[in-house]
Amino acid sequence: MGIGRFADDAWCTHCFWYPKGSRQTAVSYCTTLEQAYVPLWKKAQHVVLQQDNAPSHTEKYTSEWFKRMEGQGLRRLLGWPPHSPDLNPIENLWAWLSCRLQQISVSGVDDLRVKVAGLLASAEAKNVIKKLIDSFPRRLEACIRAGGGYIGY
């Protein structure tokens, strides 16, 4: 599952469900971006994609896809520290979601999809997301102090 987007004080998400046992490839990653990210980018004035250095994010296919998109004005965050997945607040949101899902019963994939969507739309999620957005300047400052290393978020 997953791509999440923080936009100013707003949050929206699209969940992409991959078959059990599959893994994200550069092709599936770029397809996900085309479905979830590019439409937002076309509507907004300032959009920067934040991603880590997962193999599907750094493969040649993905780099070529970004070059094509940059030719159309797409911006993306460059120079991502290789050992700082803790910079990405979406990881904290996924951890919160995982904890909340363990507290409720789920009766199959369709029910899981409904419950994930409901949790992400909840007031509790919006509060978590606001806190994550507010924490981002501190995360960046801590990363700079740590020389791009682990910062514990």
Position 124 scores a pLDDT of: 94
Question: Strand 3-7 relative to strand 48-49: parallel, antiparallel, unpaired?
Answer: unpaired
Position 9 scores a pLDDT of: 45
Q: Are 3 and 32 in contact (CB under 8 A)?
A: yes
pLDDT tens, 93-132? 889 999 999 999 999 888 988 899 899 889 999 899 889 8
pLDDT tens, 31-79? 888 887 787 777 776 666 777 778 898 899 998 998 888 877 676 655 6
Q: Are 42 and 15 in contact (CB under 8 A)?
A: no
pLDDT tens, 12-24? 555 667 777 878 8
Would you mind telling me the total number of residues written for the chain in this entry? 153
- Indicate whether 7 pLDDT > 50: no
Q: Where are the domains of the chain?
A: 1-80, 84-153
**Residue 80 and residue 78: Cα distance in Å, rounded?**
6
Cα atoms found within 13 Å of the Cα of residue 87, Cβ hemisphere only:
24
Using the Cα atoms of residue 149, residue 7, residue 13 and residue 118 in order, give the sign of their dihedral. Answer: positive
